[in-house]
Amino acid sequence: ALLILILASVSLKPNFLRTKRLNEILAMPRSEAPPRQIDRQPWRSTASHNATIKTRLRVALCQMRVNCSDKKANLKEAQRMIAVAANNGAQLVVLPEIWNSPYSTAAFPVNAECIPGGTSSKILSEAARDSAIWLVGGSIPERSHDGKLYNTCGVYNPEGKLVAKHRKVHLFDIDISGKITFKESETLAGGDAITVFDTPWGKVGVGVCYDLRFPEMASVMRQRGAKILVYPGAFNTTTGPLHWELLQRARANDTQSFVLTASPARGDDPTEYQAWGHSSAVDPWGAVIATTNHHPDIVMADLDLCQVDEVRQSIPISFQSRNDLYTIADHKAPSCT
């Protein structure tokens, strides 16, 4: 345990140094940001013989502040943060939950868009293609063809193609007396599928915010081969201090996977929904290897996917499960349409 803590503290130092530089870049006019040489096909393996899965991955978690009165400003800020992350070598970039709209049930119908086809989706597709990155596009309110609204995350490959779409499965309906009441189900419907997609680094699972509370869902994503679990989320200042890091570390430990989260930055208006922030990366041991506070930021982390195999071999819980006593069933619900 002592060794793990030492490794975690060492891993954090480079991240904070990079974060300081990223904050300086974020303050620059866009034209002054340092250029990046882009490989237009960086996701294609150049390895010889049988090695096709890459093991080293740089990720960026974009903790952007949402402008509650100017959707166009949010679109521009998302583009800007994605570009800065890519310029600093990120190969997988993650945006926060509900980044293009205020986080309120009244605002969801007003800002809902089709995925694909809507303005936000087009911007994300172009950003992924222009920077040649994998982009987990946080989430936005989605209006489906049948008129239902969902809290939906789109995933784009370096060609700008939408390769996965996850509709938040577990809706955020809570009532903590005297502190916070929120009912996503007032305007949103829950998704009916668990989402895992292929990348050059292996399979990646996606959940949105409240999905993080359900270990069964994470276990199914591992059963489907995921080594990285990504959760755009917007925990609040009531549950965030107690549960945000705890749940990330728990899901990393449960599944022996990397867990990545991206939160909105906390807003200036106390009458609006207050996000906890603290976007983070957690390794398969359950150690936080990169994080931040509640201000706008980009959290960078370098992942070694070999670590997943090492942890799973060292503590082989997948082979030690008592399936004669209990099981995690994967019902494989139909994909979103």
Bridge partners of residue 62, in order along the sequence? 298
Q: Cα(150)–Cα(212) distance, rounded to whole angstroms?
A: 17
Q: Please write the tens of the pLDDT for every residue from 276-315.
A: 999 999 999 999 999 999 999 999 999 999 999 999 999 9
pLDDT (0 to 100) of residue 23: 63
3 state SS of 103: coil
Q: Cα(259)–Cα(250) distance, rounded to whole angstroms?
A: 10
pTM, rounded to two decimals: 0.86
pLDDT (0 to 100) of residue 313: 97
pLDDT (0 to 100) of residue 38: 44
- What average pLDDT score do residues 46-68 get? 80
Q: How confident is the model at residue 268 (pLDDT cuts 50, 70, 90)?
A: confident
Query: 166's torsion region: left (phi>0), alpha (psi -120 to 50) or beta?
Result: beta
Q: Cα(309)–Cα(222) distance, rounded to whole angstroms?
A: 12
pLDDT (0 to 100) of residue 6: 35
CA distance readout (Å), 274 to 198, 202, 320, 327:
34, 35, 42, 38
CA distance readout (Å), 2 to 6, 85, 323:
6, 32, 33
3 state SS of 76: helix
The single residue listed with the structure tokens 């991955």 is: 57
Task: Decide the pairing of beta strands 92-94 and 56-63.
Answer: parallel
Quick check: 249 pLDDT over 50?
Answer: yes
Active site residues: 97, 168, 209
What's the token pair of residue 197? 């997609």
